[in-house]
Each structure stands twice: as structure tokens, then as C-alpha cells.
Amino acid sequence: MGGDYAPQNVVAGALDALESTGGRFSLLLVGQQERIQQELQKHTGARAFKEACTIIDAREIIEFNDGATAALKTKKDSSIAVAITLHRDGKADAVVSAGHTGAMLSASTLILGRIGGIGRPTIGALIPTSAHTPSLLVDAGTNVDCKPRHLFEFAVMGTTYVEAMFGKKNPSIGLLSIGEEDNKGNEVTLEAFALLKQSKLNFFGNVEGRDILKGKVDVVVCDGFVGNILLKFGESVPAFFKSKFTDFAGRSVVNKLVALIARSGMRSVMKELDYQEHGGVPLLGVNGVSIIGHGGSTPKAIKNMIFRAEEMVQRKVNARIQEAMKQYAKSQQERL
């Protein structure tokens, strides 16, 4: 029931996912039964795949403007809480939602619990780069006021995710800072630098704002305050260029023609910046697979989120994170 277009886009995306994989998995659709039923009935073409959908009734909806913690306390029968509980109880292998991000985060952390050694679960975001493989920015906005060890955990979770999901061996990690030199940073990053340096991770060192889109490293580590601001800034760049291009087109007839012809190129380039292509972001560090999508997710985004969830289960990302944190704890003990 989450997101701006629920349940219609969620149901459409679910059926798309089933149809394009020939029913490789089955889906539990959690929410107000009659509304989901109604949506399913609209899709006359995908009859066979409706049987792969089971509706689980959940009466309440956590609204966009609800406070996450309060909503989880008062709305026990929300689609988010019910879905995550199904996952905890082994009745689902993963949860996908385009609903309230804070509620997904809190409910996943509370109901599923954290992976051993992880202080703060995190969300990573894939950033397009000119190096042709995207980089993972972690934390993408979940945790502000981080301690150095939280940044270290983000690096462990990010590197494990990239390795498991993209088959990248020993991904490189950059610590986002204000200069390349080891002594550049703020109090928190300088301490995090030391932790990363003495670890067995493939730590490149500090990276700067200008290195992100170059794809200088596979994993870019920062706190959620910086990550949130950077990602939202990046999301606003296409609209900015579009407005500047419109200004340019308005200046002469020749410009108008140039802009018209350029549009197809611009579109193709901008497409790479579109989150819909990637479909949601994973919550890392909880005992489960929890994928959080944009509130405005299209059916395509929902479909891609389901595929991502399936992949995360198959590639055992959480077991790998747990192992990495164990290894780290062991090396810390050996040092003492």
C-alpha cells in the first residue's frame, strides 16, 4: 500500500515481474485485500500469473507524512509491518516496498534485527559513472551524525554488496572527503580513515566530490547527511540542464532546431541517471532482505525491485556481511 501510486503500480509491477520470468517466484501482496483484488482484476492479460500472487490482508497504511516510530506503534496492521513480519517468520524470502522509507527502515531494523557487529543498518545508492560501471554511495541518507566506526561498517556492507551483486572482486573503497591527502577531512572522517587503513579492505583512501561521477572507486563512503544532500543534488541536475536548454532554444530559430535535434541525445544520456532503471535501494545490515523504493515508483521500478530482492537472496549478501564483520572482530582481537 506504499508509495504515491499504490496499490495500482505495485500490482502492475508484480504481475510484470511474474510474467517476464515465467512465474519463477511467487509473490505475497500485502495490503487492503479488496483494493488489491480490484487491481488484479484490471489485468486481464496476465491471468496465469495472478495465481502466483497471494493476497495477505493488512488494513492499515503508513502515510507519507506519518512519523515512522509513532506509526509503527499505532498502526500494527500496516502493510509494511505485516510484510516484514512475514519475512521474519520465514513465510517470505524478502520484502519490497515503495512506501514510507523511515518506516521501512525502522520496521526492518526492529522486526528483523541487525546483523551481528553492525551498529547502524544503512542504505546504499547506485551512482552512474563515466567508467561504465556504477559506484555504490553508502550511506545514502539513513544515518546522520555518524561515528567513525559507523563509516567503517558502511564500507564493509558496501563492499560486500558490490562484490556479491556485481561479481566485482575486492571492490575499491573511497572515503568521501575534502582532499585526496590522508590528513584532509573532518574529525569523523579522519578517524574513519585510520580504521579503514588498518583493515583488510581494499581501501583506496580519500576521494573528493569530483571523483564520484568518474567512478574512481567502487564504493564511496560518507555519512547520511552528506549522502542525502549529494544524491538529491544529483537528481536535480537533469531538470537544471533541461531548463538551461530551453533558455538556449528560446534565443533563436537555429537554436530551437539544434535543441530539437539534441533532445534525443539528451534523453538517452539522462536515462542513465534515472532511478527507475535500477529499481530501489537495499537496506543493508538487517537480518533479512528489505528493498526500499521511491514513493513515485513506476511498475517498471517495482519489477526491478523484485528482481533485485531475488538476487540479494540468491547471492547470500547477508551471510557475507556477517562473515566480514566476524573477520573484522577477530582481527581486532588479534591486534590486542
Nearer to a second copy, 207 or 283 (CB): 207
* Shortest separation between residue 244's beta carbon and a second copy, angstroms: 4
Neighbours of 266 (CB within 10 A): 14
How would DSSP label each residue in 1-14?
--STTTTHHHHHHH
Nearer to a second copy, 56 or 213 (CB): 213
Nearer to a second copy, 283 or 309 (CB): 283
* Pairwise CA distance, residues 25 & 17, whole Å: 9
Nearer to a second copy, 60 or 139 (CB): 139
Alpha helices in the chain, H assignment, sequence order: 8-20, 33-42, 47-50, 68-74, 79-88, 101-107, 148-166, 187-197, 224-249, 253-271, 275-278, 299-314, 317-335
Place of cell 538517452: 268
Place of cell 516484514: 84
* Pairwise CA distance, residues 316 & 51, whole Å: 28
* Shortest separation between residue 269's beta carbon and a second copy, angstroms: 4
Place of cell 538476487: 311
List the grid coordinates of 237: 541536475
Nearer to a second copy, 62 or 230 (CB): 230
Contact residues for a second copy (CB under 8 A)?
128-130, 141, 144-145, 176-178, 185-187, 189, 208-214, 222, 224-226, 228-237, 239-241, 243-245, 248-249, 255, 258-259, 261-262, 264-266, 268-269, 272
